[in-house]
Chain A
Amino acid sequence: MDPIKESLLKTSRKAKQEKIGKLVTFLCILLIMVMVVAIILFVSLKGLATFVVNHVSPFDFFFGVNWNPSAKPPQVGALPMFLGSFIVTVLAAIIATPFAIGAATFMTEIAPRTGKKFLQPVMELLVGIPSVVYGFVGLAVFVPITRHLFGGSGFGIFTATLVLFLMVLPTITSMTTDALNSVPRNYRESSLALGATQFQTIYKVVWRAATPGIMTAVVFGMSRAFGEALAVQMVIGNAALMPTSLTSPAATLTSILTMGIGNSVSGTLENNAIWSLALLLLLMSLVFNLLVRWIGKRSSLK
């Protein structure tokens, strides 16, 4: 065959390079996918062992109010921890949301320049502060204050809420800022042209238009708060009891998890029950994910 024809029929060096490049980058993606699947699979297998191997009924697990897996007979009610996590998360979100909306509005509507100069770096720094440092500050400042104000030990849901408030504030604020920024400029202009004051424009037009975005921000913040472990574990008191008051020690899923894995032997019911808590945590994080998607889908339909 003549050499020109041959070279045209053969795969060129560049084409091979391209193939290899595409393959290698896809392998990286595949690795990430495999990791996610492996995490979900491993945690599910370990977590389901409580129900499959130890024959604990799921009803007892989800609605039982006593957590004492090492007792005889073992009690593995996860409700106290679940409620603890839930209350702490919701309270933190309730306190943080007005602040976040206020700060985001300040940054986008009231004083964009000052906002960019001062508030944005502040938010970025707050995100950057490691969670153990929040835990330490909670332990050193919030716990004594709570003890002083309400009596008791100072450890509990109230203190954990304060710590989480600080931790989710920047997340919710920055996402709310994005949501407000994406409201088209002409909405504001039309409102102002109709004679509305700036505040009327903000709360009747801008906030309404940005509601799905703000909701996404809040759910995102909640999912962060729900999964936060160490900062909460340091200030909540870690008593796996049904929460009765805001200032008495309680526990969250994450706090029992961090303490429990090291103190139990693999394969025992005690250990399996803790993995079930991990599974519950994983499921909740998936639920938050679905919620974000659902809000996104609903708002894009309109």
Chain B
Amino acid sequence: MNYKYSKTRRTQLIDRLAYKVFYVIAILIVLILAALLIYILVTGLPHISWHFLTGKSKPFQAGGGIGIQLFNSFYLLILTMLISVPISLGAGIWLSEYAKKNRLTNLIRTTIEILSSLPSVVVGLFGFILFVLQFNLGFSLLSGALALTIFSLPLLTTNVENALQTVHFTQREAGLALGLSRIETVLKIVVPAALPNIVTGMILAAGRVFGEAAALIYTAGQSAPAISFSNWNIFDLSSFLSPFRPAETLAVHIWKVNSEGLIPDASSVSAGASAVLIIAVLLFNFIARYLSNRIYQHMTGVKS
């Protein structure tokens, strides 16, 4: 009796101890993230000023800004999304609506999985030989956007497919019963119904694309030549709209400043730039979260 009693006690003790350990791990992880964010913001925010956000970067002296890099990051993101959103939409629709359960579909899913697990350096190097050298695009925004398209396609396609899958099949049946063709049903009924999820996924993917650097070093290049914001001719290399100019993005700038160490204030520039990058990514996250909550409320009437 006594022995049994002590054994139960021991298991109970272990149970309670384990309970605490799980709490400690959870708290530790939250603390790590908090420390990370606080560190980046505390070291970075003091360097952020209007001059820093809009000024030109300096190759060798201190006191440079990140204006062009910041603009390049956003412009590159827009270009990438312009190319990859239609493709991923088409691919997602095919996978969700037309794919039969056969070998071909299996093969396609496997290739998409492979693409999504490819290291981004490899994608960047592929972009370097194909777009930069073979297609003769040089280090340019366009090469960068194409490389980032490859990087983001599996992400976006899976997102579109999953979003379409959540739409109930009765909606499709209703469309077909009204005499619409399948593609019309998809485009006019299923895609609009899935749009909230699609958009949320795309914003999250945009956040990933915004911070990507490894795929860009050898495609969009590591230099940010001066651009003119009054020149609207997109074929002129000095125009801010030209997709053919080399364009170092914010993420690439952080990497380059740190690994080359040519400017004396590298750590403060990268601290400031990191803070800007983090804030942008946080914004993407919050917008996605807010949108999905709003849409959830809109569609179900339940406050989550």
Interface residues of A, Cβ cutoff 8 Å to B: 14-15, 17-18, 20-22, 24-29, 31-33, 35-39, 42-43, 46, 98-99, 102-103, 105-107, 109-111, 114-115, 118-119, 121-122, 124-126, 128-133, 135-137, 139-141, 166, 169, 173, 197-200, 202-203, 220, 223, 226-230, 233-234, 254, 257-258, 261-262, 266, 275, 278, 281-282, 285-286, 288-289
Contact = CB atoms under 8 A, between A and B. Distances in A.
Chain B, interface size category, equals 35 or more
Contact of A234 (B19, B150, B255): B255
B132 to A, nearest CB: 11
Contacts of B36: 126, 129, 137, 166
Question: Dominant SS at the A interface?
Answer: helix
Nearest to B96: A25
18 contacts: A14-B179, A15-B181, A21-B183, A28-B87, A36-B114, A46-B129, A98-B25, A99-B29, A122-B33, A132-B213, A132-B277, A133-B211, A135-B254, A199-B14, A227-B118, A233-B259, A285-B117, A289-B114
A139 B258 contact: yes
Contact of B23 (A106, A135, A203): A106
Contact of A25 (B37, B43, B93, B130): B93
A125 B255 contact: no
A139 B268 CA distance: 12
Nearest to B149: A35
A28 B119 contact: no
Interface stretch (B54-62, B227-235, B238-246, B280-288): B280-288
Question: Dominant SS at the B interface?
Answer: helix
A42 to B, nearest CB: 6
B150 A133 contact: no
A105 B128 CA distance: 43
Contact of A229 (B11, B97, B121): B121
Of listed A37, A98, A130, A286, residue having the most chain B CB within 10 A: A130
A119 B91 contact: no
Interface of B: 11-12, 14-15, 18-19, 21-23, 25-26, 28-30, 32-33, 36-37, 39-40, 43, 86-91, 93-95, 97-98, 108, 111-115, 117-123, 125-126, 128-130, 133, 150, 153-154, 157, 179-184, 186-187, 204, 207-208, 210-214, 217-218, 251-252, 254-255, 258-259, 267, 270-271, 274, 277-278, 281-282, 284-285, 289
